[in-house]
């Protein structure tokens, strides 16, 4: 396996950016868990039993039959009556998103995640392991994602972020597109409709059409001053991107500083035991998200908002960092019992801060057993859904950890 982590871009090195975009990511995650879904028309949408909601992700087999994202599920089923509908599973997507990130991070120390299923990789000065061949680099990334993350990606290769993003959209699924010079930009991008411009959208395309600009090439050849009355300060950027120009650097995300969740109650809660199940659910959600990111935290923060709309926060520092739901829940319960305003509450939240990379493998005894239990619960929820396993305490009114 090639890995260039720790490399630095050489002086004067030619800029090189990859954009990797997972193919029908949500569907791909379910297929990785259930191979019987492969080759079939599949959508992730709403509630399959109630047959309502909208399509969040559609396999390419479903797209070939006219099914698209954001389409009402009933419409999708009318187009493809044998459509396989699976319910969304956020924990499953987080799991595979993390595996994708691990592959990206092995290729470059400068990775900017655009979303859970796509990222830019700055590969400037890092082509030596692939003999200086950008195509070989892209093929290796695509192969390693398939083998190590269990999903597939399409890859765009270009001198800048904008072109790399545009390139990854041109040949899906599992395509590789290189836009490395002006001639390639003119040949591949300029004939496309203007709505293909990254960030343009249908409304932007309609405005361009009113200016007589129907294709990307039309925008590229336009004077920015012609667009300025309609697009303002964005006019120059739009024309530059159509020409294949983009000075924006790849910016790795800042490390997470906190992980939290909150919930507005169905009705104001006047008794502690009414809040207990909600605090437990929030603590479990926060803990799962910490584990998905391989993080743990030492400070638990409770937030609550009273019926009079007064918001308060209280916090407690734990003896050791944790990503274990019951520990977070115990701290949240203690903070809630000692809250300064004991009136009815309408919203509660739990947040964990003072984060660090998780070091759970060093635990012994009860800590190791809790770690193993968390791993088992996460595996079951990834396979069968977030509600496949819940703590019995969450089903009864209690505030006792």
| pLDDT for res 69 | 87
DSSP string computed for 334-355? HHHHT-S--S-EEEEEEEEEEE
Same domain, 148 and 25: yes
Same domain, 211 and 351: no
Query: Which CATH number does the domain housing residue 275 bear?
Result: 3.30.1490.100
Whether 194 shows a pLDDT value over 50: the answer reads: yes
Over range 279-290, report the average pLDDT. Answer: 92
Residue 247 lies in a domain: no
Residue 114 lies in a domain: yes
- In percent, the amount of the chain with pLDDT more than 90 equals 63
Same domain, 305 and 213: no
| pLDDT for res 394 | 42
| pLDDT for res 104 | 95
| pLDDT for res 135 | 97
- Residues 334, 277, 289, 364, CA torsion sign: positive
| pLDDT for res 271 | 77
| pLDDT for res 366 | 43
Residue 147 lies in a domain: yes
Q: How far apart are the first and last CA of the chain?
A: 47
Same domain, 37 and 175: yes
| pLDDT for res 380 | 52
Over range 239-249, report the average pLDDT. Answer: 93
Query: Which CATH number does the domain housing residue 18 bear?
Result: 3.30.70.270
Same domain, 70 and 15: yes
Residue 116 lies in a domain: yes
Same domain, 225 and 320: no
Same domain, 68 and 146: yes
Q: Three-class SS of residue 206?
A: helix
Select, from the ranges 70-74, 251-255, 350-354, the one with the highest average predicted confidence (pLDDT). Answer: 350-354
Per residue in 213-238, pLDDT (tens digit) is 999 999 999 999 999 998 888 899 99
Residue 248 lies in a domain: no
**Listed range (50-64, 289-303, 350-364) with the worst mean pLDDT:** 350-364
Over range 193-209, report the average pLDDT. Answer: 88
Whether 264 shows a pLDDT value over 60: the answer reads: yes
- Residue 365's pLDDT band (boundaries 50, 70, 90)? very low
Counting beta carbons within 10 angstroms of the beta carbon of residue 132, is it exposed (0 to 12), middle (13 to 18) or buried (19 or more)?
Answer: exposed
DSSP string computed for 279-319? HHHHHHHHHHHHHHTTEEEEEEEEEEEETT--EEEEEEEEE
Per residue in 48-84, pLDDT (tens digit) is 565 567 899 999 999 999 999 888 999 999 999 999 9
Same domain, 176 and 307: no
Over range 132-139, report the average pLDDT. Answer: 96
| pLDDT for res 213 | 95
Whether 155 shows a pLDDT value over 90: the answer reads: yes
Same domain, 319 and 231: no
Residue 249 lies in a domain: no
Q: Tell me the whole-structure pTM to 2 decimals.
A: 0.66
| pLDDT for res 243 | 95
The parent domain of residue 196 ranges over 190-242
Domain count for the chain:
3
- Residue 287's pLDDT band (boundaries 50, 70, 90)? very high
Over range 318-341, report the average pLDDT. Answer: 92
117 vs 44: CA distance, rounded Å: 15
Residue 61 lies in a domain: yes
Tell me the two tokens of residue 31. Answer: 């297929």
238 vs 244: CA distance, rounded Å: 10
Same domain, 170 and 211: no
Instruction: Of 60, 61, 88, 65, give the one whose Cα is nearest residue 76.
Output: 65
**Listed range (114-118, 182-186, 221-225) with the worst mean pLDDT:** 114-118
Query: Which CATH number does the domain housing residue 232 bear?
Result: 1.10.150.20
Residue 275 lies in a domain: yes
What lies within 8 Å, CB to CB, of 311 at 6+ separation is 303, 304, 305, 347
Same domain, 31 and 167: yes
Same domain, 23 and 160: yes
> Catalytic residue numbers?
118
């Amino acid at each position: 396996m090639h890995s260039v982590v720790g490399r630095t871009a050489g002086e004067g090195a030619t800029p090189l950016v990859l954009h990797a975009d997972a193919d029908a990511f949500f569907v791909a995650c379910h297929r990785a868990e259930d191979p019987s879904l492969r080759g079939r028309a599949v959508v992730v949408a709403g509630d399959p039993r109630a047959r309502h909601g909208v399509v969040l992700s559609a396999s390419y087999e479903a797209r070939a039959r006219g099914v698209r994202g954001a389409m009402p599920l009933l419409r999708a089923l009318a187009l493809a009556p044998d459509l396989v509908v699976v319910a969304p599973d956020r924990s499953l997507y987080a799991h595979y998103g993390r595996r994708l990130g691990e592959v990206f991070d092995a290729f470059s120390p400068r990775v900017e995640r655009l979303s859970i299923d796509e990222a830019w990789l700055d590969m400037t000065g890092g082509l030596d392991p692939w003999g200086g061949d950008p195509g070989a680099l892209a093929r290796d990334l695509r192969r390693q994602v398939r083998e190590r993350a269990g999903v597939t990606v399409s890859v765009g290769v270009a001198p800048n972020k904008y072109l790399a993003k545009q390139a990854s959209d041109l040949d899906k699924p599992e395509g590789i597109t290189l836009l490395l010079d002006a001639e390639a930009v003119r040949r591949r991008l300029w004939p496309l409709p203007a709505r293909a411009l990254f960030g343009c959208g249908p409304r932007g395309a309609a405005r361009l059409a009113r200016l007589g600009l129907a294709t990307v090439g039309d925008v590229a050849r336009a004077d920015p001053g012609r667009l300025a009355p309609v697009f303002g300060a964005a006019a120059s950027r739009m024309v530059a991107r159509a020409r294949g120009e983009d000075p924006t650097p790849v910016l790795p995300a800042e490390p997470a500083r906190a992980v939290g969740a909150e919930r507005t109650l169905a009705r104001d809660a006047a008794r502690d035991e009414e809040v207990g199940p909600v605090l437990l659910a929030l603590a479990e959600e926060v803990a799962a998200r910490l584990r998905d990111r391989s993080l743990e935290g030492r400070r638990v923060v409770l937030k609550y908002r009273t019926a009079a709309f007064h918001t308060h926060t209280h916090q407690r520092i734990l003896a050791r960092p944790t990503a274990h739901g019951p520990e977070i829940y115990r701290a949240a319960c203690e903070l809630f019992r000692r809250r300064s305003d004991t009136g009815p509450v309408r919203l509660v939240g739990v947040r964990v801060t003072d984060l660090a990379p998780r070091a759970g493998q060093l635990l012994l005894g009860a800590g190791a057993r809790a770690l193993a239990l968390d791993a088992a619960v996460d595996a079951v929820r990834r396979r069968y859904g977030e509600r496949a396993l819940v703590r019995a305490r969450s089903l009864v009114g209690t505030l006792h950890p």
